[in-house]
Amino acid sequence: MDAQESLREIEAIKQLKYRYMRGIDEKRWDEIEACFVPDATCSYSGGKYAYDGREAIMKFLTESMGRPTFLSSHRVHHPEIEITSDTSATGTWALEDYVIDEQHGLTIHGAAFYRDRYVKVDGAWKIQHTGYTRTFEQMQKREGSGWHVTQRGFEA
């Protein structure tokens, strides 16, 4: 693979990861599901939440983040992507997230590093494995804070 082709593949992987993160915040479950291969695995929070298979991953994501009172902002940056073959790659991403969980009265802010594996299927990159380990997580009770949070609607 020449340098130009390698850069095109890296850009396609970046787009995949950005689509996954945007899907989480906009609760676009079908778009997120399309990011994974059927036998994908995940290991969030250093393995605290680990699942095998796209169905199990999607069940976890929709049940834990699908409520309208769960508001989030996930940002990934500083990608370190290595193309390991014509159909496989790895990636490390810095994550910063901010979550407002009104149901549980919490604000969560944290940082982590994602470590991903990707596979190219029918010409498109998909997530084979994703997961992160926290570098820090700060939780704060929201009760009595005087803040009111609203969620803006998303257009398809």
Q: State mean pLDDT over 14-36.
A: 98
Domain boundaries, the chain: 3-141
pLDDT at 156: 43
| CA-based radius of gyration for the chain | 16
The average confidence (pLDDT) of the chain is: 93
Least confident of 14-18, 54-58, 93-97, 140-144: 140-144
Write the CB contacts of 56 (distance below 8 Å, at least 6 apart in sequence): none
46 pLDDT above the threshold of 70: yes
Mean pLDDT for the stretch of residues 42-57: 96
- pLDDT category at 10 given cuts 50, 70, 90 is very high
Q: How far is CA 81 from CA 85, 151, 154, in A?
A: 12, 33, 30
Question: What does the pLDDT read at residue 155?
Answer: 47
Strand order in the sheet with 49-52: 49-52, 36-44, 124-141, 106-121, 88-101, 70-85
CATH code of 3-141, in short, is: 3.10.450.50
